[in-house]
Amino acid sequence: MESQHASGESWLSLARKLDWDFSYVDERDVFPAEICGKPWLDGNAWRSWDEPYKTSYSSYVATQHEKEQSLKTVDHVLGRLRDFQSLDVAWLNGLKLHAAALPLAEFAATIGNLRAARFGRDGAWRAAAALGALDECRHAQIPLRMMHKLVRWDRQFDWTHKFYHTNCWVAIAARRLFDELLLFSDPIEFAVATNFVFETGFTNLQFIGLASIAEESGDRLFEQMTMSIQTDEARHAQIGLPVLETVIKHDPEYAQYLIDKWFWRSWVVFAILTGFTMDYLTPVEKRKASFKEFVQEWVLDQFLTSIENLGLKKPWYWDTFLQSLDYYHHMVYASAYTYRATVWFDLVVPGPGELHWLAEKYPNSWKSFEPVWNRIHEQWEHCDPGVDFGVHGTSIVGFCNMCQIVLCQGTPEHNTACTLDHKGQRYIFCSEPCKWIFEREPDRYAGHKDLVKRVLAGEAPANLVQLLRTYCSLDFDSWGKDARKGEYPWLRRQPKDPRKEEG
Amino acid sequence: MAKPCAGVWGRSMATGQKTYWHLLSQRRAPSDYEVVTSRLLYYPGKEPEVHTPVGAWMGKHRSTIPPETWERFNDPRQTTYRSYTELQSRLEAHIDEVIRADVCGPVSRDTLALLKAYVAPLRYPCHGLMMLAAYAGHLAPSGKVAICLAFQATDELRRIDRITQHAVKRLGADAVRASRLHWQEAKEWQPLRKVIERLLVTYTWDESFIALNLVLKPLIDRVFCDRLGSTLDACGDGTFQQIFRSLADDTRWHREWSAAAVGTAFGPGETDAVQSVVDRWLPSVQHAVEVLAAFASNDAAASDMSEYAVFIEGMGLNAGKGNASKT
């Protein structure tokens, strides 16, 4: 890890542990419970907060300046338009998915970190969060700068900035997550959810797993960018553990709740973001391992060991989670492909080579998905290339009232959607964990309208094309299509019968 | 618009769109600063997708000036993460050289007394200033304002680090550690501590930001950086003065961007609200400065107040109804 300080620099802790006893105001007013989070403890209870690698300001700016210079050079050498044009089209669309999902969410993390730099309960925690705020600002600015030149080539890259400003259903789901995780969360929940679960638990999937695939796919720029970002994450993710340890000491039940809630919510987002890219949008010959294998290698063992070491239990829904590891991202991908005009990137149909690979990697579940893709193959065989709407869903889909993603949990044979009646309203969820999260804090979630409810309330148009154009900010040029226009060499497209055309 | 089958990649090869959606109306190529800092906050004007206590807090305390007005603000230095780390790493390298060249000869009793009384405790108010910048940053009405405040918060961290590092070198860690008591109990620090503690519980964004960046910081930064530096220099510790000079570069930028922000958000006829905050906070800040800066000459204090008056008048405001000239 970079920028840790030698123990010889003993002055550094004197520059961090700077809490004092208030005389002119009350500590509870300086650190109000409603914004500091729970448990609310006397300041002395937080004084054991410590980070293993301390960073001085001087070492921070020196290291970060070097990293920025190095990335600038890499961008100059590898970030030309023709470098992007030489990438596989499927991979390029994985890039669009990431480009949109990351920058403004990273900036929401700048806001969350600034809040922790004010309301974190120990001076050293606050200082670490201030540097964390800068890191996240960097992670917003890098992709915005890199992708800007691609807008003139492909308007879908406009969504690098536009995505979170829209009402595309994926953006609603993303805001549903990041509003709570980053933007409007108190520093205790932020530290446990973002720093411990999201950054320590999951981001290795992106920064190690996906970076290695990017290198294999010839996208050296993406590889270098993610690896450079990873070094920042490794530093500020340290904030989480000492916060969690104090919460465990004083309110173990709440600590367990936060872990259970945020493991599930993080899992859902990584299943889509990383799962799509690894198992569908990377050329099959470049794949090193499946998404499931990466999760097993980089998330599960490490996560379980770390929570067991803290005296916590694995989440109560663990069996459900293990099943979803075989199914969930495949369910959402098939759904997203079927409704691709509702997103801002293009998707591909897995062909025989990919299907064989997926069957090998997912022996427990893939036989359930084969009929889905066989049906899509058949539909394309009866459609002309480029006529996406011949192979597209038209009926209204349902969204989970917790995660706001389409009701895609369970298996193709057994969808696990479930309902709950709360204060005279019926709510629907994709899974028991999403229902359980809602039930624990209904005041946070119950007032929300999903996209279908917005249509029914007259806030959004019911006509699909109008909905996409006027409410979701998509238009024909930017909405998702089949990335290969349905022109797959392995399709057995029937030649047109001229007699029928004459008739 | 592309035809469905156009282009090798299934998409149009040239879109005619030259920049991100929100910068198109400018009808010119955006600067790097604009590309990476504009409209980074997606939530102003949107219903939150989750209702948390923090969200309610933000709704209650946010700026009274609409976000679209704040979005027009541009940092005069056009600071991006890249330019910030480049600039600050250069300044820090300079300080490293200053410290390397520092030969610590015998330190006079006067100097040691000054260091103990004024320099070592300085870590605490600077930490308070970091917290206040972070508060204004997390509730900032635009991404560009949030970025300025994030950098301002870490500039305070810079100041804390360099003060601590050099104070430990001069006084030893134990004496520096003991300065907490000085901050909490010494008479000269109490008016300032009172202002900072009161400001920490002032949560309305406009008031918190204006009191911090238009009243407290412009005055106290002069004391911390210039007066303390020149006093130490006069006592024979020129190294500290060089460090403080470099730190003063940061505070100059804090004043510049704050003046630009207020100038953008509050039109010529709308400065009453700003003036009332200045009027509310200036007397206690002035008192804190006077008590604290007893080590500096009266001439220096008068010069600082005149300079402050120029700064505040540049925004169409006045320095507390003639208080400046009285001091």
Is A2 at the interface with chain B, CB within 8 A?
no
Q: What are the φ/ψ torsions at residue A399 (nearest 5 degrees)?
A: -115, 145
Bridge partner list, A429 = A418
Question: Tens digits of per-residue pLDDT, A173-190?
Answer: 999 999 999 999 999 999
3-class secondary-structure state, position A425 = strand
Residue A440 in contact with partner chain B when CB distance is under 8 A: no
pLDDT 10s digits, A203-259: 888 878 888 888 888 898 889 888 888 889 888 889 999 999 999 999 999 999 999
- The mean per-residue pLDDT over the stretch B104-126 comes to 90
The answer to whether A443 contacts chain B (CB < 8 Å) is yes
Task: Please determine, for residue A500, whether its predicted confidence score (pLDDT) is greater than 70.
Answer: no
Taking an 8 Å cut-off on Cβ atoms, the answer to whether B81 and A404 are in contact is no
CB within 8 Å: A385 and B180 = no
Q: How would residue B18 be classed by pLDDT, with cut points 50, 70 and 90?
A: very high
Contact A3, A63 (CB under 8 A): yes
A–B CB contacts, 8 A cutoff, strictly below: 287
Test B127 with A18 for CB contact under 8 angstroms: yes
What residue in B sits closest to A138 (Cα-Cα)? B81
Instruction: Look at B81 and A141 and tell me if their CB atoms are within 8 Å.
Output: yes
**pLDDT score for A135:** 97
**pLDDT > 70: what percent of chain A?**
97
Write the pLDDT tens digit of every residue in A143-157. Answer: 999 999 999 999 999
- Contact call for residues A59 and B89 (beta carbons, < 8 A): no
Segment A8-40, tens digit of pLDDT: 468 999 999 999 999 999 999 999 999 999 999
Q: In this structure, what are the phi and psi dihedrals at residue A428, rounded to the nearest 5 degrees? A: -120, 145
Looking at beta carbons, which residues of chain A come within 8 Å of B158? 57-58
Inter-chain touch A161–B52, beta carbons under 8 Å: no
pLDDT averaged over every residue in chain A: 93
pLDDT band at B15 (very low <50, low <70, confident <90, very high): low
Q: Does A459 touch chain B (CB under 8 A)?
A: no
- Calculate how close chain A gets to B72, using CA atoms only, in Å: 18
CB contacts under 8 A, A 390-419 vs B, are 404
- Most B CBs within 10 Å: which of A95, A102, A111, as the mutation test of the B interface? A111
Query: What pLDDT score does A413 carry?
Result: 93
| pLDDT score of A81 more than 90 | no
The residue of B13, B22, B50 whose CB has the most chain A CBs within 10 angstroms, and thus the best one to mutate to test that interface, is B50
Structure tokens given for A479: 């909405």
| φ, ψ of residue A427 in degrees (nearest 5) | -115, 150
Any B CB within 8 A of A424 CB: no
Q: Give the CA distances from residue B8 to residues A89, A133, B4, B12, in Å, rounded to whole numbers and listed in that order.
A: 10, 41, 11, 8
Q: How distant, in Å, are the alpha carbons of A90, A210, A287, A488, B91 from that of A277?
A: 9, 8, 10, 19, 42
Which of A422-426, B88-92, B214-218, B323-327 is the least confident region?
B323-327
- Please report residues of A whose CB lies closer than 8 A to that of B153: 114, 117, 130, 133
Closest Cβ opposite residue B154 in set A68, A130, A185? A130
* Nearest CA-CA distance, residue A340 and chain B, Å: 14
Interface of A with B in 327-366 (CB under 8 A): 346
| Residues in B touching A133 (Cβ below 8 Å) | 134, 137, 150, 153-154
Residue A285 makes CB contacts below 8 A (sequence gap 6+) with none
- Facing A14 at nearest CB: one of B17, B22, B177: B177
Give dist(CA A257, CA A259) in Å, integer: 5
Residues in chain B closer than 8 A to A140 (CB atoms): 36, 40
Model pLDDT for residues B122-131, shown as the tens digit of each residue = 999 999 999 9
For residue B316, give the amino acid letter. Answer: G
pLDDT of residue A181: 96
Q: What is the spatial distance between Cα B171 and Cα B175, in angstroms, rounded to a whole number? A: 6
User: What are the boundaries of each domain within chain A?
Assistant: 64-471
Residue A123's closest CA among A75, A190, A64, A54?
A: A54
Mean pLDDT over B215-223 rounds to: 96
Taking CB atoms and an 8 Å limit, are B81 and A137 in contact across chains? Answer: yes
Model pLDDT, residue A1: 34
Both structure tokens of B202: 């002032």
Encode pLDDT of B59-76 as tens digits: 999 999 999 999 999 999
Identity of the amino acid at B115: L
Q: How confident is the model at residue B280 (pLDDT cuts 50, 70, 90)?
A: very high
- Arithmetic mean of pLDDT, B146-163: 98
Q: Please check the confidence at residue A84 and state whether its pLDDT lies above 60.
A: yes
Ranking A165-169, A370-374, B2-6, B223-227 by mean pLDDT, the lowest is B2-6
CATH superfamily of A64-471: Ribonucleotide Reductase, subunit A (1.10.620.20)
The predicted pLDDT at position A497 comes to: 66
SS (HEC) of B153-178: HHHHHHHHHHHHHHHHHHHCHHHHHC
Task: Answer whether A176 touches B (CB < 8 Å).
Answer: yes
B319 alpha carbon, distance to own chain's centre? 19
pLDDT mean across residues, chain B: 91
Residue A4's pLDDT band (boundaries 50, 70, 90)? very low
Over 80: is that where the pLDDT of B326 sits? no
> In the structure, what pLDDT confidence band is assigned to residue B45 with cuts at 50, 70 and 90?
confident
Which of A212, A201, A189, A199 has the alpha carbon at shortest distance from A139? Answer: A199
Asked if B158's CB is within 8 angstroms of A12's CB, the reply is no
Cβ neighbours for B62, distance < 8 A, ≥ 6 positions apart: B139, B141, B205
| pLDDT at residue B9, as a whole number | 40
Among A16, A19, A39, CA closest to A187: A39
Q: What is the distance in angstroms between the Cα of A295 and the nearest Cα belonging to chain B? A: 28
Question: Which of A12, A13, A18 best probes binding to B when mutated, by most B CB atoms within 10 angstroms?
Answer: A18
Say yes or no for a CB contact (<8 Å) between B22 and A161.
yes
A7 touches chain B (CB under 8 A): no
Domains of chain B (ranges plus CATH)? 73-326 (1.10.620.20)
Residue listed under structure tokens 């226009």: A485
Closest-CA distance, A101 to chain B, in angstroms, reads 13
- Which of B40, B57, B176 faces A140 most closely, judged by CB atoms? B40
What whole-number distance in Å separates Cα of residue B121 and Cα of residue A355? 67
- Residue in chain A closest to B158 (alpha carbons) equals A57
Half-sphere exposure of A27 (CA within 13 A, CB side): 12
Q: Is A30 helix (H, G, I), strand (E, B) or coil?
A: helix
What pLDDT is recorded for position A217?
Answer: 87
The ipTM, to two decimals, is 0.95
B286 half-sphere exposure, CB direction, 13 A CA radius: 22
Distance CA A401, CA A421 (A): 12
